[in-house]
Amino acid sequence: MKFLLKWCFFLYLMLHFCIIVNGFDTPLTSKTPPSSKFFEPYRVYISDKDVNHVVFQCTVPSPWVLRPGDTFTWKFRRDFFGTNKYYCYFGWIDSGFLWKIQMNAFDPDVAKMCGQNLFHMNRCYWLLTKDGMYFSNNNETFQNVEDDNWRFMYTWNHD
């Protein structure tokens, strides 16, 4: 009987340890990739404005589906040579077509648009709409296509 109680207590502790170690990340948060520079922190945001059930995959650990209102984000520091590259692939079905976008979520060109401040977080905002993908380096509300804060970058292709 004592052996069974000790075994149950051990399993109880291990279960709680696993929950504490792994349980605090939300599904829309990824792990931070390794870095080699202390400065130049970046955070990339990908938000879905109005596309239902977008299936996607990025070169960082990511969820599989975005719904309107969801945001996926990750942060990292530039590597020593500034060659970080993160790609994302998006797809959704509408009117019998598979609509898709393949994009560079972050590369040296995107880094220039996000900002290159050495001492503060540089932010890259991507907004997914039924028109395509928009970019901004600040998170002001997306009003319309003519909004100066958002720049149209990628359009949907279909098969």
pLDDT at 43 over 90: yes
**What is the rounded CA–CA span in Å between residue 125 and residue 149?**
10
Q: Mean pLDDT, to the nearest integer, of 118-122?
A: 83
Q: How many CB atoms lie within 10 A of CB 74?
A: 22
Burial status of residue 133 (CB atoms within 10 A of its CB: 0-12, 13-18, 19 or more): buried
Section 63-80 average pLDDT:
88
More confident residue, 37 or 78: 78
At residue 138, the pLDDT reads 86
Better pLDDT: 122 or 33: 122
pLDDT of the residue at 124? 94
Confidence at residue 9, expressed as pLDDT on a 0 to 100 scale: 53
Predicted TM-score of the model (pTM): 0.72
Q: Are 12 and 18 in contact (CB under 8 A)?
A: no
- Whole-number pLDDT of residue 5: 57
Residue 17 has pLDDT above 70, yes or no: no
Residue 7 confidence (pLDDT) above 60:
no
Looking at residue 67, its pLDDT comes to: 93
User: Residue 13: what pLDDT?
Assistant: 46
Contact present, 92 and 53 (Cβ < 8 Å): yes
Instruction: Look at residue 33 in the predicted model and tell me its pLDDT.
Output: 44
